[in-house]
Amino acid sequence: MSRIETLAEYIVADTVYRYLIDRDTQQVGLVAFPLALRNALVTKRTGLKGLPYIDAMPDASDPPATELDPLVHLKIVGDWYPGAFSQGRTMRTSSSNARFRLASHNRITEADRVSVVTVLRSMEGLELTHRLGWHDGDSAVEITTTFRNDSSLPVTLEMLTSFSLGGITPFDPADAPGRLQVHRFRSVWSAEGRLESRSLEELHLERSWSGAGGFSERFGQIGSMPVRGFFPWIAATDTAANVTWGAQLAWAGSWQMEAFRQHDDLCLSGGLADREFGHWMKIVAPGEALTTPPATLACVNGGVDELADRLVAVQDRAVERQPAVEQDLPVIFNEWCTTWGDPRHDKVLAIADRLVGSGVRYLVIDAGWYKGERGHWGNAHGDWVPSATLFPHGLKATGDAIRARGLVPGLWFEMETVGSTSEAWHSKDMLLKRDGVLITVRERRFWDLNNDLAVAYLTQKVIGLLRDCGFGYLKVDYNETIGLGTDGAESQGEGLRRQIEGVHRFFDAIRVALPELVIENCSSGGHRLEPSMLARTAMSSFSDAHELVEIPIIAANLHSPMLPRQNQIWAVLHPGDSDRRLAYSLTSTFLGRMCLSGDVAALGAGQWQLVREAVDAYAQAAPLIKRGISRRVGAYGPSWRHPTGWQAVVRTNDACEALVVAHTFAAAPAEVKIELPTGRWQVVRVFPSPDGVRIEGRMLHWTTGGDFGGLTLQVRRVPQMTT
């Protein structure tokens, strides 16, 4: 008889979250599976129905299919490190886990939110509190872990997970190699969000013959650009059962995810980057506690797309708290690709004059407004004194002139760093250090956001200037990473963690001081596209790929880890562009938030009319962009810089409407066929032209006209006639 039993289980939407308990050790674990498959699967190794596949206690010659995976993994300095030849690859499964036994397990209901609180305690007075919660209507859950020290001595942590999910489809190793796949999103500058799906065999995570080796694929990001290398996102699919599990972490600092395997099952976990991976140790004094960054977790009967729908839907709650001006997804104009770091009062007003009555709502003044006579936008920031040469009447006069033209003025800051030609560069006591030396990267240093004087300075320079000059939009850029960590704490990784908490506090302070301010999250394009920053801002710059042909590819990628309504996509417009090129750029913005830039004041009448038509079509499509489900089809080759073929994103909503955004690349087919959802469809709006577009049944036919074309099509399902 198995020693592992069900402690409790909860159904969220169509998913079962089951808590398991080991009767002997009183350790607790968590598994998840679709409700529809509760009794559908049988393991070869145990003969037990349902997920998880519980260890049937075979003899020593037949290793177990699975063992209980602890609800929380942690490592305390002084305890045994993990065995199974795994030290250096993982800090999971250390002897610290064995200290903790179940103390209580309760379901708590408050208004529209349910929380399941599991408390584990050690004999020494240490406590782990695992919280799993969801709101009415959610199809995913949020998990956090709190470590509390109620002992008489300080305790040093060197690992603590936000979540851990075990029991993922154990099966006989000889059964269907390639059955389990692990998914993650890779990301580099100007090429964000490439989905990577690899089998456990390709990741070299096949179980050893005896189960004596513990294997981990540990990946993540080190520093203050959380989407640099990977997104904080992981998933696994059982292709035979068509079930996918996954999680997304909300953290803007160093993080890690792990796919771990020792027995037949797979375990997923993640949280702060640990001591091995992120140089993190944390001393928790008696009476103190530490709570991990939250993770959103889901399980679905389906694949990566269906899982991503659930994880990203949870982000909508935070976005709804953004200023009311954001609710209809207004269009932005940013003058960066117009002046390239040399904004001037007269240049900005020339743009504003062109935008009057166009449907554009925000006009953002980007970098350079503070530079001196011989300064450069990239190293002059930090003092935040508006240039009297560029803005002879002051920034307020320019902002007022923008508002007089019916637009909301916006302003760029890179407020967390200082440039090498600024006076702030020399504020040594208020800047971050590592090894006693100021952290200096590419003519940038970093404010210490746990330093009261630094925070007071930024409050005056950023919040004060925005308020005094009447700006309604703030673009926050961030163009370097702090790296491994900082001084000022027991470890450099802990110093970085505290700095990220300071970043969050300052963003929150801006919101309190200026509740109607619209904030854009940018970090050299898309280096901060993670939930903790997305929740604090109205939208985010999708990438720095401002004028490249791969824009629609990157923009479509980001429908999986973030809401399109927060995904600001640029169309840079030039008088020398053909109408086809203009349409290619403009249609790309329908994959998220439309942001225009470029020399619009010099566009010809016909070109400007095309832009006006795009803005009008975008306003009509905004409800679908705001809420819906996206699916991508097509084939664009392995290279994003040199794409071939075509792609289309079909976005549908509950109102029986769909938006199709399609693009061709090099070597494009003469005709593209795109299957629409079930039903009969009628065309509502086409941009740029209905020529070459027809619908036959469920099939959309587009005569592409060749390479690098763009199309947006809004359709509505025709009601079925009844007799």
Q: Is residue 589 part of a domain?
A: no
What is the C-alpha separation between 331 and 333, in angstroms, rounded? 7
Query: Which two three-digit tokens encode residue 492?
Result: 């450099």
Give the residue-averaged pLDDT of 183-193: 98
In a domain, 300, yes or no: yes
Asked if 280 and 498 touch (Cβ cutoff 8 Å), the reply is no
CB under 8 Å, gap of 24 or more: what pairs does 195-202 form? Answer: 195/304, 195/557, 195/560, 197/237, 197/304, 200/259, 200/261, 200/266, 201/177
Q: Is residue 471 part of a domain?
A: yes
Q: Which residues contact 275 (CB under 8 A, 6 or more apart)?
A: 75, 91, 158, 159, 281, 491, 493
User: Strands, DSSP E only, in 78-222?
Assistant: 101-110, 113-121, 126-135, 141-149, 155-168, 180-188, 191-199, 215-221
Q: Residue 392 is part of a domain; what is its CATH number?
A: 3.20.20.70
Of residues 158, 170, 188, the one with CA closest to residue 47: 170
pLDDT of residue 372: 84
Residue 297 placed within a domain: yes
Q: Give the pLDDT score at 175.
A: 65
pTM, two decimal places: 0.95
Q: Is the pLDDT of residue 57 over 60?
A: no
469 domain-assigned:
yes
User: What is the residue range of 687's domain?
Assistant: 631-718
Tokens of 470: 């009447």
Number of Cβ within 10 Å of residue 37's Cβ equals 17
Q: Are 159 and 94 in contact (CB under 8 A)?
A: yes
Identify the domain boundary among 541, 573, 599.
Answer: 541
Which single residue is written with the structure tokens 């009509």? Answer: 620
Under a CB-based contact definition with an 8 Å cutoff, are residues 233 and 246 in contact?
yes
Backbone dihedral region for residue 618 (phi beyond 0: left; psi -120 to 50: alpha; all else: beta): alpha
Burial of 663 per CB tally in 10 Å (0-12, 13-18, 19+): buried
Average pLDDT over residues 394-398: 98
Residues 270 and 361 occupy one common structural domain = no
At residue 294, what are phi and psi to the nearest 5 degrees? Answer: -75, 150
Predicted local distance difference test score (pLDDT) of residue 64: 52
Query: What's the angle, vertex CA 528, arms to CA 522 and CA 534, rounded to 5?
Result: 85
- Looking at every residue in the chain, the average pLDDT score rounds to 94
Same domain, 336 and 298: no
What token pair was written down for 68?
Answer: 């209980």
Where residue 173 falls among pLDDT bands split at 50, 70, 90? low
Enumerate the β-bridge partners of residue 625.
none
Task: Clarify whether residues 523 and 388 are in a common domain.
Answer: yes
The domain that holds 200 is classified in CATH as 2.70.98.60
The strand pair at 539-541 and 567-573 is best described as parallel
- Residues 57 and 23: their CA atoms lie apart, in Å, by 13
Regarding whether 639 and 518 lie in a shared domain, the answer is no
Alpha helices (runs of H) in 205-335, residue ranges in sequence order: 275-278, 304-313, 316-319
Q: Judge contact between 569 and 550, C-beta under 8 A.
A: no
pLDDT of residue 467: 98
Please answer whether residues 215 and 518 qualify as being in contact, where contact means their C-beta atoms are separated by less than 8 angstroms. no
The band of 472, judged by pLDDT with boundaries at 50, 70 and 90, is very high
User: What would the two tokens of residue 407 be?
Assistant: 């637009």
Tally of helices (H runs) and strands (E runs) in the chain: 13, 40
| pLDDT interval class at 176 (50, 70, 90) | confident
Same domain, 349 and 307: no
Q: What is the CATH number of the domain that holds 697?
A: 2.60.40.1180
- Yes or no: say if 10 and 116 are a contact pair by the CB < 8 Å rule: yes
Per-residue model confidence as pLDDT tens digits over 374-392: 789 999 999 999 999 999 9
Residues 6+ apart with CB under 8 A from 316: 563, 627
Nearest to 307 by CA among 608, 559, 645, 29: 559
pLDDT(284) > 60? yes
Cα distance between residue 346 and residue 387, in whole Å: 14
> Which of 314, 341, 359 corresponds to the end of one domain?
314
Same domain, 338 and 296: no
Q: In percent, how much of the chain has pLDDT > 90?
A: 88
Quick one: what percent of the chain has pLDDT higher than 70? Answer: 95
Give me 105's structure tokens.
């397990």
> Which residues have CB under 8 Å from 452's CB, separation 6+?
none
Quick check: 292 pLDDT over 70? yes
Q: What is the mean pLDDT of residues 243-265?
A: 96
pLDDT in tens, 486-525: 999 999 999 999 999 999 999 999 999 999 999 999 999 9
Q: Is 571 a domain residue?
A: no
Domain boundary among 254, 285, 314: 314
Confidence of residue 3 (pLDDT cuts 50, 70, 90): confident
**Do 18 and 73 belong to one domain?**
yes
Using CA atoms, how far apart are residues 658 and 656, in angstroms rounded to an integer? Answer: 7
- Please tell me whether residues 127 and 184 are part of one structural domain: yes
The Cα 217–Cα 199 span in angstroms is 12
Are 437 and 504 contained in the same domain?
yes
CB atoms within 10 A of CB 515: 9
Domain assignment of residue 475, yes or no: yes
Q: What mean pLDDT do residues 142-164 have? A: 98
**Judgement on whether residues 454 and 307 belong to the same structural domain of the protein:** no
| Residues 353 and 221 occupy one common structural domain | no
Strand 360-365 and strand 331-334: pairing? Answer: parallel
For residue 554, tell me if it sits in a domain.
Answer: no
Provide the pLDDT confidence category of residue 63 given band limits of 50, 70 and 90. very low
The stretch 612-638 carries a mean pLDDT of 97
The beta strand positions in 527-636, using DSSP E, are: 539-541, 567-573, 593-598, 629-635
Q: How many structural domains are present in the chain?
A: 3
Whole-number pLDDT of residue 329? 98
Greater pLDDT, 373 or 578 = 578
Q: What confidence tens digit (pLDDT) does each residue in 547-604 have? A: 999 999 999 999 999 999 999 999 999 999 999 999 999 999 999 999 999 999 999 9
d(CA 632, CA 647): 7
Helix (H, G, I), strand (E, B) or coil at 269: strand
pLDDT the model gives residue 474: 98
**Sequence-ordered strand ranges (E) for 602-645:** 629-635
Question: Any residues with CB less than 8 A from the CB of 450 and at least 6 apart, and which?
Answer: 488, 498, 499, 501, 502
The residues near 669 (Cβ < 8 Å, ≥ 6 apart) are: 645, 646, 704
Instruction: Tell me whether strands 671-675 and 680-687 are parallel, antiparallel or unpaired.
Output: unpaired
Return d(Cα 627, Cα 313) in angstroms, integer. 9
- Cα 293 to Cα 47: distance, rounded to the nearest angstrom: 38
Helix runs in 218-322, H state only:
275-278, 304-313, 316-319
Residues 382, 261 share a domain: no
